[in-house]
Amino acid sequence: MSTPKLHTSIEYLKGVGPSRAEILQQELGIRTWKDMLYHFPFRYIDKTLVGSITDAVATGEPTQFKAIVTKMSVSKGRYKKRLNATLFDGKSTLTAVWFQGVKWVSEKLEVNKEYLFYGTVKKTKSGSSFAHPEFELYNPNALNDKRMEPVYSSTDLLTRMHLESKFKRRVIKQILSKIDSNDVVDPLGKYYTDYFKLIPHVKAVYYMHFPQSEEQLEQARARMIFEDLFFLQLGIVFNQTTRKQKLKGAIFESVGEKFMKYFDEKIPFELTGAQKRVMKEIRRDLGSGIQMNRLLQGDVGSGKTMVGLLTMLLAVDNGFQACMMAPTEILAHQHYISITEEMKGMGVNVGFLSGSIKGKKRKEILQLLKDGVIHILLGTHALIEDWVVFKNLGIAIIDEQHRFGVAQRAALWNKTSEVAPHILVMTATPIPRTLALTAYGDLDVSTIDELPPGRKPITTRHIYDTKRSDLNTFIETEIEKGRQIYIVYPLIEENDKLDLSNLEMGYERLLQRFPRPKFQISIVHGKLKASDKESEMQRFVRGETQIMLATTVIEVGVNVPNASVMVIENAERFGLSQLHQLRGRVGRGADKSFCILVSKYNLTANGKKRLKTMVRTQDGFEIAEVDLELRGPGNIEGTQQSGVVAMRVANILRDSEMLNYTRDHTVKILSEDPQLQLPKNAPLLHYLKTHNMISKNWGRIS
């Protein structure tokens, strides 16, 4: 929030101009004075410390030293000029070089004058390289003001164009000299600034750029971290509260005959305590008259599909239809086969629809659906096409929800005309609390945090690819016991740029070690036609093949109890959540199961940590925490499209306590004033509106 002055284009500032303004917008999205003012430093350096050339060369770290320029020369390189300057600090010499801005630097540097130089000396084959250092005339009296000099993020282009920290410091000082405290409006307002004992917003902005002490910097960071997380949570909770107030949902009044018959006669085991708890949460939603928008998360094999089926039976018993949408035809068809089997003798008609179903068969399914004859429809994203019309859709279940974009999920809303269908999204990728409060904060979250009795732990081992002959012997031993094997590859075809095993080469190698007709091998990958994939998968399901070679298309939805070994080639190239999903494909039968992670010998630190984590634990939530730590919130699968806001200072991992604190307070504020109409909340509502944090299009979509 700000006055019009802060919305002035930066091109009108001294030293910027149209071309530099265009580069700043292109590289950092900085267009106005305000954008520049909120482009905060990522660290600070103490420029009162003056080292030596020897220090700079020895440490390889950014170092400041004073030196006299003893010689300068401009030489012509292959494509452009370069400036060389010989620096001498009284003991050692070093050559500084500039490939960009040669004319500008030549005019600023003079031989026999003493300067402060700041930069990193890099070791090269030909010696040391000191390229594009910052410099200024040495003035001992000016050092006292440089105890905490801000350093800003940059890019290659900005560095080449000399638009890095020194330039930004100059521009920000210029902006601060042209505005006063009234130009920077406090987004929290005085009431909440005082209530939460924070320093004023305008002070925090100034201290973030030019703190005079560690205390000032700490106060500024505390204020900005609070703001980042407070408004993130306020926007999420506001939209959730508004949705619950405004969006009505179909009321499922009773637990009917079909639900009870299935529960009493068809389930051969008792539900886990976690499944029972989740069913109570769902039943409470479905009877409330408010549209349910719930995320169901649970580890691989925890029984989410059973909860989904019971929820669909609640809809059928109350006169509604239900659908379940899966990301792949293999998974959707597997749901169809298993649910059709479960519904025998129940008086429940189950249908299946995917893009591969055409012509007369599709027409027949669509008519039965429109007439209400089909009670439960399973399928792929084909379910959201305009030509799919339900008679009375009451609930839509989305399996592995991160595979679908927001717009795809939104299309489900067009399937009903009166009240919104309830939405239940399911994922086998456990979500840490910090992400659940951000990426999925507008959903109510249910968690199945225990496995059904009888699920045996999977023995996980990490081996290097030099031990392949031992691995093949182990595979043969398992096949002789009547077991089946998955072998998963990251690629289909060879890629010279990535030194990875690939499925085609692996197939040839396996044929030599496991020849036909004694051994049979199935192949499944993303480039196969859907019908061929299904045919190969069914051969494996029926036990006609002992080995399934696949890419990650089998990550979800394959249930072969007889498969007891999962081999993952180039395991270091997979994310933790993918590795965990793949491991979950085995351990579904009575036999002892194994997951073998095969990798190259040279691993990065992150690669080693991923594989060690997989060997150490099978707890999906612990694995998700490590994944979040390694990859960061913006890179976790699915969160790029889920609304994790790019924050100025906060980090949801480091600042998780503050995240929980701000969540609790935003819930409290909105329970007292759901639409933020009280005078003290006017600044909060204004902030949400001006930053487009009040959902217009997707707020009601999970």
Q: Are 10 and 76 in contact (CB under 8 A)?
A: no
Answer whether residue 201 is part of any domain.
Answer: no
What does the pLDDT read at residue 516? 86
Q: Which CATH number does the domain housing residue 504 bear?
A: 3.40.50.300
Q: Which CATH number does the domain housing residue 54 bear?
A: 2.40.50.140
pLDDT 10s digits, 54-106:
989 888 888 889 999 999 998 876 667 889 999 999 999 999 998 877 888 88
Q: What's the rounded mean pLDDT across residues 559-573? A: 90
Domain count, the chain: 3
- For residue 259, give the amino acid letter: F
612 in the same domain as 464 = yes
d(CA 530, CA 524): 10
pLDDT 10s digits, 660-684:
899 999 999 999 999 999 999 999 9
517 in the same domain as 421 = no
Which element (helix H / strand E) includes 305?
helix 304-317
d(CA 623, CA 431): 10
Answer whether residue 649 is part of any domain.
Answer: no
Q: In the structure, what pLDDT confidence band is assigned to residue 616 with cuts at 50, 70 and 90? A: very high
**Are β-strands 114-119 and 458-464 bridged in parallel, bridged antiparallel, or unpaired?**
unpaired
pLDDT 10s digits, 204-242:
999 999 998 889 999 999 999 999 999 999 998 898 888
What does the pLDDT read at residue 643? 43
8-26 in b/e form (b: 16+ CB < 10 A) is eebbebeebeeebbebbbe
pLDDT of residue 352 exceeding 50:
yes
What does the pLDDT read at residue 698? 44
- For residue 92, give the amino acid letter: S
387 in the same domain as 482 = no
d(CA 467, CA 465): 5
Answer whether residue 308 is part of any domain.
Answer: yes
Cα–chain center distance at 628:
8
Q: What's the rounded mean pLDDT across residues 270-281? A: 92
Cα–chain center distance at 433:
14
Judged on CB neighbours under 10 Å (0-12, 13-18, 19+), 246 is exposed
User: Which letter does DSSP use for residue 398 in this model?
Assistant: E
The listed range with the strongest mean pLDDT (243-257, 442-456, 655-669) is: 655-669
pLDDT of residue 634 exceeding 60:
no
Contacts of 686-690 with CB under 8 Å at 24 or more apart are 686/1, 686/187, 687/1, 687/187, 687/231, 688/231, 688/234, 688/235, 688/238, 690/1
C-alpha separations of 329 from 122, 553, 558, 560 in Å: 53, 10, 11, 16
570 in the same domain as 495 = yes
What does the pLDDT read at residue 642? 42
422 in the same domain as 282 = yes
**What mean pLDDT value characterizes the chain?**
86
- For the chain, the residue count is 702
What does the pLDDT read at residue 367? 95
Neighbours of 419 (CB within 10 A): 15
What does the pLDDT read at residue 641? 39
Q: Which two tokens stand for residue 174?
A: 């210029």
- Out of 572, 587, 617, pick the residue that ends a domain: 617
pLDDT of residue 301 exceeding 80:
no
Q: Is 631 helix (H, G, I), strand (E, B) or coil?
A: helix
What does the pLDDT read at residue 315? 95
320 in the same domain as 381 = yes
What does the pLDDT read at residue 702? 46
Give yes or no for a cis peptide into 517 (omega within 30° of 0): yes
411 in the same domain as 331 = yes
Q: In the structure, what pLDDT confidence band is assigned to residue 129 with cuts at 50, 70 and 90? A: confident
What does the pLDDT read at residue 640? 41
Q: Which two tokens stand for residue 494?
A: 């060879």
Q: Which two tokens stand for residue 669?
A: 């504020």
Neighbours of 538 (CB within 10 A): 15
Answer whether residue 628 is part of any domain.
Answer: no
Cα–chain center distance at 546:
36
Which element (helix H / strand E) includes 94?
strand 93-98
Q: Which two tokens stand for residue 552?
A: 């990650």
DSSP 422-474: EEEEEESS---HHHHTTTTTTSEEEEE-SPPTTPPPEEEEEEEGGGHHHHHHH
d(CA 681, CA 521): 65
User: Which letter does DSSP use for residue 197 in this model?
Assistant: T
* Residue 15 backbone class (left: φ over 0; alpha: ψ -120 to 50; beta: rest): left
- The label of the residue with tokens 């089997």 reads 341
Q: What's the rounded mean pLDDT across residues 237-259? A: 85
pLDDT of residue 550 exceeding 80:
yes
d(CA 299, CA 180): 54
Domain of 141 in residue numbering reads as: 47-146
333-342 in b/e form (b: 16+ CB < 10 A) is bbbbeebbeb
Q: Is 393 helix (H, G, I), strand (E, B) or coil?
A: strand
Answer whether residue 583 is part of any domain.
Answer: yes
pLDDT of residue 31 exceeding 70:
yes
pLDDT of residue 277 exceeding 80:
yes
Answer whether residue 677 is part of any domain.
Answer: no
- The label of the residue with tokens 């402060």 reads 116
398 in the same domain as 309 = yes
* Angle in degrees, CA 297, 298, 302, rounded to 5: 150
- Out of 146, 162, 192, pick the residue that ends a domain: 146
Q: What's the rounded mean pLDDT across residues 102-118? A: 90
465 in the same domain as 353 = no
Instruction: With both helix axes pointing from N to C terminus, report the angle between 329-342 and 530-541 in degrees, rounded to the nearest 10.
Output: 50
Q: What's the rounded mean pLDDT across residues 520-528? A: 83
pLDDT of residue 403 exceeding 80:
no
Neighbours of 410 (CB within 10 A): 16
99 in the same domain as 57 = yes
**Residue 353: strand pairing partners:** 379
Q: Is the dihedral of CA 315, 316, 318, 319 positive or negative?
A: positive
Q: In the structure, what pLDDT confidence band is assigned to residue 593 with cuts at 50, 70 and 90? A: very high
Q: Which two tokens stand for residue 61?
A: 């770290």
Q: What's the rounded mean pLDDT across residues 14-28? A: 91
420 in the same domain as 467 = no
483 in the same domain as 345 = no
Answer whether residue 93 is part of any domain.
Answer: yes
Answer whether residue 432 is part of any domain.
Answer: no
Neighbours of 57 (CB within 10 A): 17
DSSP 15-73: TTHHHHHHHHHHHH---BHHHHHT---SEEE-TT--B-HHHHHHH-S-EEEEEEEEEEE
pLDDT 10s digits, 329-343:
878 888 898 899 999
DSSP 256-299: -HHHHHIIIII--SPPPHHHHHHHHHHHHHHTSSB--EEEEEE-
Neighbours of 124 (CB within 10 A): 8
Lowest mean pLDDT among 247-256, 500-509, 672-681: 500-509
What does the pLDDT read at residue 633? 63
What does the pLDDT read at residue 697? 46
- Out of 427, 444, 471, pick the residue that ends a domain: 427
Q: What percent of the chain has pLDDT over 70?
A: 90
pLDDT of residue 636 exceeding 50:
no
Q: In the structure, what pLDDT confidence band is assigned to residue 243 with cuts at 50, 70 and 90? A: confident
**Are β-strands 81-88 and 321-325 bridged in parallel, bridged antiparallel, or unpaired?**
unpaired
What does the pLDDT read at residue 687? 93
The HSE-up count of residue 661 (CA atoms within 13 Å, CB side) is 12
